[in-house]
Structure formats: structure tokens, C-alpha cells
């Protein structure tokens, strides 16, 4: 990949069909990559995040902002990625550890389609500086001090994208999808607020924005997994030819454990977990969701 980027100015392994800027260079030397960096962006899936960060920890200055792009939960510890960062870098300034998150499907970004994102960071001045760094002609960046809410929104969104894909794979239409996204937002907000997030975050780009994009797009790996399950394929059949991780497959169990820890009801996420880990048929999962006891919209 590094050779392809440096020589051909492409990354056909992960995002084929696009020319990369000639100023962009890649290296396989982790110390070279982070040693003199003004900002470190961790574009690593949650299951490999800790090991990659540990491999370069000694080269990271404690005042260098560390920004995660990962939308997952560490399975073994149930930590968010900013928590993992501070666990690996205990002397780092916690206000300089944050996330960049939102409805940011990579192919559309590369095509120059208008999009927006959120930089969530405790240090407001640093957030404003990074806002300018990441802002582009067709890529708008907003700041948000709510790191917890922004991370939980991204992790829960992946679970819900699997559910949305399941519904689409079964041939259901707009009514079903609208219902699912709306109730998914409820579950996301419940957990995020219980964990200390700002409820406003979940109606913003990190929450609702990312839900709408990912729950509607075959570009999403999580949606693809759900779609295949809805069509009746096994998880192994679906993932066998995927060269990148569908975060929701790994993080659903962590989200459900957090829901139990914080005593939050998440019926959609629960059914996704049963389909993924227990082999529950997707039709049965839907039937059980639709036949739950009738409740108030705002309490159930």
C-alpha cells in the first residue's frame, strides 16, 4: 500500500479509482510517521487500535493532539478509543485526545461531494485549529466538546447500520427504514446520555447525520453485512471477501455489555447481537421486535 501511494499516488487496495495528491507520502516506519507530527490521526479499526498505538507510543509528544477515526469499542475492555489512547499514553493531555466523526463515506469524500463532520475535543482552542486543518472546499468541519457522546454515537451507529442492511436485504421499504433509524436514534441517545454524553450530540452530525448516511448506503461495510444476513447468507459467507473490517460485527457485543452496565434498553441492538452471535433468523428477529409490548414513544 505504501509503495502504491508513493509511486502511483493511488491506494487501490482500499479505495480504488482515485488519484491521491502528489504531496501525500506514506511510510512503513512508525517512528518516522509520528515523531515530528503536529497532529496524529489514528485511522485504525478498534480491534487493532491499541497495538498500533503501543508500537509508536514512545515517539509521541504528550502535547500532540491524537485524533481517532475509529467508530468502535475495544472488545476486551469496553473502552472507547480515546480511553484506549489515554490508557496507552497516561501522561498525555486528555483534552488533546479526541475524534473526527460524522457522515463521512470515503468514496463520496474522495469524489468531492459536499459533506460535513465533527471534531470532538476537550481543548476548544486546539479543536478550532484542527477545524481549520481538516476543513476543505467541499468538506465542512464543526467543533463539539462532547467526546464521549461523539464516540458512542459512532459505535452504536455501526450496529444500527447492520440492522438497516438486514431490513433492506429482506426487501423492506421506506416506512421500515424510517422507523428503524428513528428508534435507533432513541437507543443511541439513551446509551450515550447514560454514559455522560450531551443529548444534543445525537441529533447532530455524529449521531443522526451518521445514522442517515450509513443506514442508507451500500458503501457502508456494516450495511453490506446486514444486507447479506437479510438475504439469508451466513456471516462467514459475507465477510470472506471483505478486505476491511465491519466495525459493528465486533463492537455489537461491547455495546450490549455497556447497555447492561448502564441499564439501558436497546432492543434493536439486542436483536442484531442475537443474529450475529446466536444465529437467530433475521425474520424472527424482526417479528420479535414488532411484537414487543406496546409502549409510549418517549418511554419505550
Provide the annotated active-site residues: 157
Dihedral of CA atoms 40, 76, 161, 18 in degrees, nearest 10, equals 30
Cell numbers at residue 218, please?
A: 451500500
- The separation between CA 33 and the C-alpha centre of its own chain, rounded to angstroms, equals 24
- Collapsing DSSP states into helix, strand and coil, what is residue 280? coil
* 148 backbone φψ class: left, alpha, beta (φ>0; ψ -120 to 50): alpha
The rounded distance, in Å, linking the Cα atoms of 192 and 197 is 5
The rounded distance, in Å, linking the Cα atoms of 56 and 226 is 35
The rounded distance, in Å, linking the Cα atoms of 161 and 139 is 23
Amino acid at each position: 500500500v505504501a509503495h502504491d501511494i508513493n509511486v502511483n499516488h493511488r491506494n487501490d487496495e482500499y479505495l480504488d479509482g482515485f488519484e491521491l495528491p502528489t504531496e501525500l507520502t506514506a511510510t512503513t516506519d512508525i517512528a518516522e510517521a509520528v515523531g515530528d507530527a503536529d497532529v496524529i490521526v489514528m485511522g485504525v479499526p478498534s480491534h487493532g487500535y491499541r497495538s498500533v498505538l503501543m508500537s509508536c507510543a514512545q515517539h509521541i509528544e504528550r502535547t500532540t493532539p491524537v485524533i481517532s477515526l475509529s467508530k468502535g469499542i475495544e472488545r476486551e475492555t469496553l473502552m472507547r478509543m480515546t480511553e484506549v489512547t489515554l490508557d496507552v499514553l497516561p501522561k498525555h493531555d486528555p483534552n488533546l485526545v479526541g475524534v473526527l466523526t460524522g457522515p463521512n463515506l470515503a468514496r463520496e469524500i474522495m469524489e468531492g461531494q459536499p459533506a460535513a463532520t465533527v471534531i470532538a475535543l476537550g481543548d476548544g482552542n486546539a479543536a478550532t485549529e484542527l477545524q481549520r486543518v481538516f476543513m476543505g472546499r467541499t468538506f465542512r468541519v464543526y467543533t463539539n466538546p462532547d467526546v464521549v457522546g461523539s464516540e458512542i454515537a459512532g459505535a452504536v451507529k455501526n450496529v444500527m447500520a447492520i440492522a438497516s442492511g438486514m431490513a433492506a436485504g429482506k426487501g423492506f421499504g421506506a416506512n421500515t427504514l424510517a422507523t428503524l433509524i428513528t428508534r435507533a436514534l432513541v437507543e443511541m441517545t439513551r446509551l450515550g446520555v447514560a454514559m455522560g454524553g450531551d443529548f444534543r450530540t445525537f441529533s447532530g452530525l455524529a449521531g443522526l447525520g451518521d445514522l442517515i448516511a450509513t443506514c442508507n448506503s451500500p458503501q457502508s461495510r456494516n450495511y453490506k453485512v446486514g444486507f447479506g444476513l437479510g438475504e439469508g447468507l451466513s456471516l462467514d459467507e459475507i465477510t470472506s471477501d471483505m478486505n476491511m473490517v465491519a466495525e459493528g460485527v465486533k463492537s455489537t457485543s461491547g455495546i450490549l455489555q455497556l447497555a447492561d452496565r448502564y441499564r439501558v434498553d436497546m432492543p434493536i441492538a439486542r436483536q442484531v447481537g442475537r443474529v450475529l452471535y446466536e444465529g437467530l433468523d433475521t425474520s424472527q428477529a424482526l417479528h420479535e421486535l414488532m411484537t414487543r409490548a406496546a409502549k409510549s414513544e418517549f418511554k419505550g
